[in-house]
């Protein structure tokens, strides 16, 4: 794969209009749905598989909201390029696979701590707005993304990590159950959402497609349920 021209730093998409809540009860509905956790989709692009030694190069998040019908929707997307931490390992095979040139002049990469602040700030705001207590990471092979986020938090001494330290919603498991697929591209296609291979392995694109997949699976399950246990139980 050839080197990609980096997408604009700090890309942000507007909040989904379907998620504008008119009452406090509607605004807090997503908190009741997931026991006070706000799902936030994350995709990272890296220079290898080892979160302790390999560089974190891109982070993208998609905030999830709930509309007035109780359905999940992808909301804002936030992203940034990340500068390799001092002494980070850069695996040439990983860079060839994701097409990232860490020295590209258009990357405008942030140091890890600044990148975490850039990504975490809108998450904290969304947690407060939704009446949630914390966020929970949604990812495709979520352990990988959470591992790199946690490693960067540890390296930088960042104090306000919004994510649960180990719990996740993994769309690999959800797609395997609901669609009989585990690969992201095949899962997205099986859900009827469309996949562009030319945009794949960009943190922004993969995060957005993972968000669509997560919302679609949860919504289809929810609409198929005659009883909704989450509506019968109070937050504990």
- Can you say how many angstroms the Cα of residue 133 is from the centroid of all Cα atoms in its chain? 18
Q: Which helix (H) or strand (E) holds 78?
A: strand 72-81
In eight-state DSSP terms, residue 158 is -
Candidates 184, 177, 168, 219; CA nearest to 30 is 219
C-alpha pair distances (Å), 232 with each of 21, 28, 134: 21, 15, 22
CA 44 – CA 128 distance, rounded (Å): 24
Which residues are known to be catalytic? 201
């Amino acid at each position: 794969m050839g080197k990609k021209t980096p997408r604009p730093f700090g890309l942000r998409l507007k909040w989904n209009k379907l998620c504008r809540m008119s009452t406090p009860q509607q605004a807090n509905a997503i908190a009741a749905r997931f026991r006070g956790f706000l799902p936030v989709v994350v995709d990272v692009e890296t220079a290898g598989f080892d979160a302790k030694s390999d560089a974190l190069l891109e982070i993208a998040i998609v905030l999830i909201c709930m509309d007035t019908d109780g359905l999940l929707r992808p909301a804002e997307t936030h992203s940034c390029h990340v500068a390799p931490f001092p002494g980070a390992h850069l695996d040439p095979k990983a860079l060839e696979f994701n097409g990232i040139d860490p020295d590209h002049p258009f990357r405008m990469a942030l140091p890890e701590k600044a990148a975490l602040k850039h990504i975490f700030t809108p998450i904290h705001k969304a947690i407060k707005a939704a009446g949630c207590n914390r966020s929970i990471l949604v990812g495709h092979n979520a352990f990988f993304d959470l591992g790199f986020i946690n490693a960067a938090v540890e390296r930088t001494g960042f104090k306000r990590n919004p994510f649960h330290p180990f719990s996740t919603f993994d769309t690999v498991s959800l797609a395997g159950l609901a669609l009989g697929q585990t690969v992201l591209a095949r899962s997205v296609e099986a859900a009827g959402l469309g996949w562009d291979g030319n945009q794949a392995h960009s943190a922004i694109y993969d995060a957005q497609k993972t968000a669509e997949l997560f919302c679609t699976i949860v919504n289809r399950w929810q609409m198929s349920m005659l009883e909704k246990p989450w509506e019968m139980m109070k937050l504990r």
